Structure 1
Amino acid sequence: MIINVCFGTNDLEKAGKFYDAITAELGCGRTNTTEKAIYWSNPGVGVGFAVTTPYDGNPARYGNGVMATIGARDREQVDRIHAAALANGGSDEGAPGERANGFYCAYWRDPDGNKMNAVALG
């Protein structure tokens, strides 16, 4: 069972602004901030997502083929999350739309190059 996803960042302030916009759409908020990390979750659920500067001091790098998926309420929320990502420094990796598998999804990369997507659950 996965209980947390954490992405590395080279700019904690920029990553915080980026993910504040996305998590706000999901009804989440920051649950903790340290000098090296920021954590977000739904109220009463615990930590669900974090960004951190790498512990070893080396630059953060994204993984090729690695992606985290957000479950959205509906297609409209997928659209809003994708728009928030692009408006806050993200880059498009696939505009919102129905995919061959029948899912309605959108894809983007955060300012550090980490890939994410949102899929409509309803």
Structure 2
Amino acid sequence: MIGYVTIGVRDIDAAKEFYTSLTGHKVLFDGGRIAFIGETMGGPMIAVCVPYDANDPHPGNGTMIALKGGGQDGCDAMYKKALELGATCDGEPGSRIPGQFYGAYAKDPDGNKLCFYDFS
């Protein structure tokens, strides 16, 4: 359903390093001020982009990117890795809907909100 999501960043090289290290995926296309990260060009991707108007990026209030954690341990590992890569906590790992949804929340170095989740 979703091809890619684009988030604004200040430092394109730092953003590429953050998201490739966090997800284990690679930069599939690098256009200078925008780069697409994923497994394949036909699969879901995250695009990191220096805004076209060259102003500072502003994360949307209520906007969030949810990344599959691959189970609770996977969510915990992605959350921990994000913090090691410079993200900040926006909600420690835990059950949000008991027995149904497990999530951990962080903000990347540019303030974009991420969720690492697992539906039980």
TM-score (norm 2): 0.89
Structure 1 counterpart of 2:47: 50
Structure 1 counterpart of 2:106: 108
Q: Gapped runs of 5+ residues in structure 2?
A: none
Structure 2 counterpart of 1:20: 20
Q: State percent identity of aligned pairs.
A: 32
Structure 1 counterpart of 2:80: 83
Structure 2 counterpart of 1:34: 31
TM-score (norm 1): 0.87
Q: Which segment is superposed worse, 10-19 or 88-97?
A: 10-19
What is the DSSP-based 3-state SS (H/G/I as helix, E as strand, rest coil) of the residue aligned with 2:97? coil
Aligned-pair Cα RMSD in Å? 1.7
- Structure number with higher relative contact order (C-alpha < 8 Å, ≥ 6 residues apart): 1
Q: Kindly provide the amino acid, as one letter, of the partner of residue 14 in structure 2.
A: K
Structure 2 counterpart of 1:9: 9
Q: Which segment is superposed worse, 35-44 or 72-81?
A: 35-44
Question: Structure 1 residue 47: deviation in Å?
Answer: 5.3
Distance in 2 (CA, whole Å) between partners of 1:108 and 1:46 is 24
Question: Structure 1 residue 59: deviation in Å?
Answer: 1.4
Mapped contact 1:73–1:121 kept (Cα < 8 A) = no
Q: Gapped runs of 5+ residues in structure 1?
A: none
Structure 2 counterpart of 1:68: 65
Mapped contact 1:62–1:114 kept (Cα < 8 A) = yes
Q: Kindly provide the amino acid, as one letter, of the partner of residue 110 in structure 1.
A: D
Distance in 1 (CA, whole Å) between partners of 2:7 and 2:55 is 14
Question: Structure 1 residue 44: deviation in Å?
Answer: 6.0
Mapped contact 1:72–1:121 kept (Cα < 8 A) = no
After the TM superposition, list the runs of 4 or more consecutive aligned residues in structure 1 that deviate by more than 4 angstroms. none
Distance in 2 (CA, whole Å) between partners of 1:106 and 1:78 is 6
Question: Structure 1 residue 52: deviation in Å?
Answer: 0.4
Give the aligned length.
Answer: 119
